[in-house]
Amino acid sequence: MGPVSLVLMGVVCVHCMHILVNCSHQLSERLKCPPLGYSDTVAVAMEMSSSQWLRKGAHFGRYLVNFFLVLTQLGFCSVYFVFLAVNIKQVFEGTGVNSSVESVIFSSSNSSVEGLVSPHLPSGLDLRLYMLLLLPFIILLSFIRDLRNMAALSALANLCMALSLVFIFTDVLSDLNDPRHLPYFSTWRKFPFFFGTAIFAFEGIGVVLPLENQMKEPKRFPQALNIGMGFIIILYVTLAMLGYLRFGDDIKGSITLNLPHDSWTNQLVKVLYSFGVFVSFAVQFYVPAEILLPPLCEHVRKNWRTALNLTLRTLFVCLTSIITFVA
């Protein structure tokens, strides 16, 4: 049932993204205003509703959406922080991380993290030391304030992730188990775990409108979304099936953690994939930065705004690291 559920969840996520984009377009055309963001789309839609109750709650709707967006995106950033630290630890120490990486479960309703990596690993340096080593580089990455300035870096990151996927598929296909020896259905108790992991993998609705608004040709975004998400759904389903056939119930939250440590190619995979996730951190961080920073910076003098902006970005990145420390 896993592949079928993945396809259904992917289709639902893409459909919701299209609904959001279409609503934003229609409302901006009706009001003859610039493209709307996520919270503005919700607020304007409520203001134009026939329900008086919804019209009165338009401002509350804007604040509520912004709150959950910030909570969700900073949660994603925290997870990326952990992923980077665990993979870098494996590369430098050449040791496995047994069951310390359980998984990450996000609830779409409350955007809470239910499971994170334990900071105490069985050998080598504490995982939190690796997080501290990564912190300065992530802070510098967060200083990028325009997604268009990340085009070249994102292209390089995509190339690195594509190369890592080639190595992953090569390793997985080298020793597949007989599917007849594996259960076709799991227990219902594990479905919330699967649901949260899959939603985390597909969820990107918070960055849909910012990405579209900064495209040279925003009208082509729906086509790009269909092609990109279609490829991702096929890739996830294929890798999930093959990964399960290869590792069975021993498969971890990230398939890179299942790769043997005695091969330089597998270590290279972790480096390449980590670089891709590292760059993705800036994209996920862009949303909470755009929500929180402008209202805070507009109350200071213009010659202080840049310094305050960079300082607040540093503090928010440190906040994501603190979340991983105490989890």
Task: Return averaged pLDDT per consecutive 10 residues of the chain, 327 residues in all.
Answer: 83 90 89 85 89 88 91 88 88 57 37 39 70 92 84 87 88 81 73 79 79 80 89 88 83 78 82 90 88 87 88 92 80
The pLDDT assigned to 242 comes to 87
* pLDDT (0 to 100) of residue 113: 38
C-alpha torsion 103→314→208→218, nearest 10: -150
CB neighbours of residue 276 within 10 Å: 19
CB 91 within 8 A of CB 265: no
Question: Is 327 in a helix, a strand, or coil?
Answer: coil
Amino acid at 44: V
SS3 101: coil
- Per-residue pLDDT reduced to its tens digit, 23-78: 988 898 888 888 888 889 999 999 988 888 888 888 899 999 999 989 888 888 88
Q: Are 43 and 66 in contact (CB under 8 A)?
A: no
Q: Which of 268, 202, 269, 204 is nearest to 240 (CA)?
A: 202
Contact predicate 161/231, CB 8 Å: no
298-305 contacts at long range (C-beta below 8 A, 24 or more positions apart): none
Q: What is the pLDDT of residue 103?
A: 40
For residue 145, what pLDDT is reported?
84
How far is Cα 299 from Cα 33, in angstroms, rounded to an integer?
Answer: 25
Beta bridge partner(s), residue 106: 113
**Side chain identity at residue 150, one-letter code:** M
Distance CA 149, CA 165 (A): 26
- Return the pLDDT at 67: 93
pLDDT at 115: 38
Compute the Cα dihedral for 18, 110, 320, 61 and give only its sign. Answer: positive
> What's the pLDDT at 159?
92
Instruction: Give the pLDDT of residue 104.
Output: 39
Quote the pLDDT of residue 123. 55
For 145-167, the pLDDT digits (tens) are 887 788 888 889 889 988 988 98
- Using left for φ > 0, alpha for ψ between -120 and 50, and beta otherwise, residue 124 falls in left
Interior angle at CA 30, CA 28 and CA 33, nearest 5: 40
| Structural contact between residues 67 and 155, judged by C-beta atoms closer than 8 angstroms | no
DSSP H helices, the chain, are: 2-31, 38-47, 52-56, 58-93, 127-142, 151-173, 191-202, 208-213, 221-247, 264-297, 302-326
At residue 124, the pLDDT reads 63
Confidence (pLDDT) at 1? 67
Identity at 121, one-letter amino acid code: L
Contact indicator for 259, 169 with CB cutoff of 8 Å: no
